[in-house]
Chains A and B, each alone.
Chain A
Amino acid sequence: MNSLLQSIFKHKPSFVCKNTGEELLLIPLKDNVADFNQYLVLNELGAFIWNLIDETTTIASLQEKILQEFEVTAEQLNADLSVFIPELHRYTCGS
């Protein structure tokens, strides 16, 4: 999972991020063209995770910060992250 986070971080510059309040709109830039048909909408928690991901982020540090900010159990968070991070990786990295 930590390698997925690092891979997502490397691809973050390929996206334009538009904050719409409770949601974050990710617009991919492919060959310098913004592809609005391939956009992704992240909810508040998804946006929080996206904004946290940098070159030092690990699953453990992510879990710690989310548990400080959101009312969620560690078990539920682990289950959600095990689905969300691979999905976000597939979207951002195309694999």
Chain B
Amino acid sequence: MTTIGSICIAGYHFGLQNDTNLQLVFETGFEDFFTSVGPHIDRQLIFKQGFIDFANSTSCYQAKANKQLLWEIRDTANGRWFLVYHPETGELQQQAQYNPIKHTWNIHCEAQEFQDESVLNPLAYPMAPLLWYVLTTEEPLLLVHASGLTDGKKGRLFAGFSGVGKSTMAGIWERNGAQVINDDRLLLKLEADGTWHMYNTPMYYQASPKSAALQHIYFPFHSPANTLEKLSGAKAIAQLLAFTIHHGYDAQHVLHHSNIAEQLLQTITAAKLGVVPTNDIIDFIQANEQSAT
């Protein structure tokens, strides 16, 4: 058994423990997230070779994307297991069990050939996002579909489904000097000092870890004119949660995320934003923020 380091996601350290004799490989996006093993590990990941036979178990929850099964939950005599599938072929890719008391994951997968060598790729998509998701069910975190960026003074989040202009907004701000934290998936975290920060997570492409303080959340939509409608109360909570990544296999998780969203919206403003995708949207947003202070 070898401890090979850790991955740091939004300040949480995932210890990596190899319980096999095989080399481990990880997707490109992990490269800059590796750290040496520090004094504190928040979640331990233990990698094992080979699958367990769950032939007699039944699926009690299935997570799908475009009808493709990504992962499912099976409650067995040996506890709750996550079965994770290849997003294109549908083949079983990982079997994972989480111990919420010890904060430990056991992740099983089969060896595969990589550069003439037998290796394990234990966090291949969608295993890693599942780890981040389960983390959000226990910590003051939300995993959101959004573009997040900072202009050095303020951090802003643009949340919405594909096609509403998240990446367009990120591009406009980036061309005007802002730094994009990520334009698809972000973790929002309540820090110990009471501030909220947004963090990127490993993607399928190489990107270094980035974070920024968060001040404003916008829900953009295409519009013939730039418009802004402030949101508050239950509607703001529901609007934010509509763009969080969530799975309702446990109602307590839904309630937890609702509580976190409520807490976030006590200090972060939220508004629906009608957008004409030109540079004018930057002045429009800044003017509205200034008039609100």
Contact = CB atoms under 8 A, between A and B. Distances in A.
Contacts of A25: 234, 237-238, 258
A20 B254 contact: no
Given A33-B247, A33-B248, A39-B238, A16 B255 contact: yes
Contacts of A5: none
Nearest to B241: A36
- Place the interface of chain B in its size category: 20 to 34
B237 A20 contact: yes
B59 to A, nearest CB: 11
B183 interface: no
A23 B233 CA distance: 8
A41 B262 contact: no
Contact of A23 (B234, B239, B247, B258): B234
A8 interface: no
Interface in B238-291: 238-239, 241-242, 244, 246-249, 251, 254-255, 258-259, 262
Interface in A19-71: 20-25, 27, 29, 32-34, 36-37, 39, 41
Looking at B234, B249, B254, which has the most chain A CB atoms within 10 Å of its CB? B234
Contacts of B81: none
B254 A27 contact: yes
Contact of A32 (B61, B235, B262): B61
Contacts of B61: 32
Contacts of A37: 242
A36 B242 contact: yes
Question: On chain A, which size bracket covers the interface?
Answer: 10 to 19
Contacts, number: 55
- The majority secondary structure among interface residues of chain B is helix
Given A20-B233, A20-B234, A24-B234, A29 B241 contact: no
A36 B233 contact: no
Given A16-B258, A18-B262, A32 B249 contact: yes
B234 A41 contact: yes
A30 to B, nearest CB: 8
B146 to A, nearest CB: 14
A37 to B, nearest CB: 5
B81 to A, nearest CB: 17
A23 B259 CA distance: 14
Interface string B103-129: 000000000000000000000000000
A13 to B, nearest CB: 9
Contacts of A33: 246-248
Given A25-B234, A27-B238, A36-B238, A20 B262 contact: yes
18 contacts: A16-B254, A16-B258, A18-B234, A18-B255, A18-B258, A20-B233, A20-B237, A21-B233, A25-B258, A27-B238, A29-B251, A29-B254, A32-B61, A33-B246, A34-B241, A36-B239, A36-B242, A41-B233
In the A-B complex, the 6 residue pairs with the smallest Cβ-Cβ separation, listed nearest first, are A36-B242, A34-B248, A25-B234, A18-B258, A39-B238, A36-B241
